[in-house]
Amino acid sequence: MAANPYQPELATVEEIIEETPDTRTFRAVFRDPELRESFTYEPGQFQEVSVFGVGEATFCLTSTPTRPGVVEFSVKQVGQVTTALHEMSPGDVVGIRGPFGNWFPYEEWKGKKLLFIGGGIGMAPLRSLLNFCLDNRADYGPIDLIYGARSPQDLCFRNEFDAWRSAPDSRVFLTVDRGDETWQGNVGFVPAYLMDLAPSPENTIAITCGPPIMIKYVLESLEKLHFQPEQIYTTLEMKMKCGIGKCGRCNIGEKFVCIDGPVFSYAQLKELPPEF
């Protein structure tokens, strides 16, 4: 990327995928062919995306570095920048800075079972890691995904569920808060479904991301299932701001989420003030 950390690189929006009524996934390619080929990142890292004349916002990279040439980010419409992004069409140009932050320590997890627990748009950073692990399937043990949303229409990445289910030694468990006449999966909150499924903590790493209230109860549920804090990871992407730790708005105690995170183990979070 550019030597000036504040200077974005130009990227063209190639495709926009409507995930839910208020969330879209953008596929973008850098206009610089050399950068397009050389750009790399790690699962869990994030980027700053700018809409010229409107502003800049932080989004995790939801694509996986094992599928290069394109960067993807999922956007829930909640403010000016996200609304401007939702008004874009293929062919429009955005600015991208990054990648920033740390990443999931996937090298340390080789040979272990992986348990992904996502909620709503929180599936975006998990998708990057999930597809990375599936693309390196021989390196990991069984992979389970528990994913929930408010309704069937609020589940993101529905066009990938079949591929995730059909991957070797992998299972997908879906749940919604409120079903409808078409829904055949579980109905209930993610933490309660997690307790019903009761996965074993033996040789397992749990990775979770979703609404803060979901993460709070997922962490409590995992402890009840005898997962140790060192076996649990999450990402505090909602706390990220400028990306380089200069604005001082991402700090939790002495930690800066943009620099020290966004990925933290539960053991690390237990050492921080309860501000996340």
Q: Which of 4, 24, 23 minimizes the C-alpha distance to 15?
A: 24
Residue 245 in this model has a pLDDT that exceeds 70 = no
> Against a cut of 0.75, is the pTM above it?
yes
Side-chain-facing half-sphere of 27: CA atoms under 13 Å: 11
CA torsion, points 189, 190, 195, 197, in degrees to nearest 10?
110
Model confidence pLDDT, tens digit, residues 9-42: 999 999 999 999 999 999 999 999 999 999 999 9
Question: pLDDT (tens digit, 9 = 90+) per residue, 152-204?
Answer: 999 999 999 999 999 999 999 999 999 999 999 999 999 999 999 999 999 99
Average pLDDT of the residues of the chain? 92
Return the structure tokens found at 104.
């999931």
pLDDT digits (tens, 9 = 90+) for 137-151: 999 999 999 999 999
Render pLDDT for 219-237 as a digit per residue (tens, 0 to 9): 999 999 999 999 999 987 7
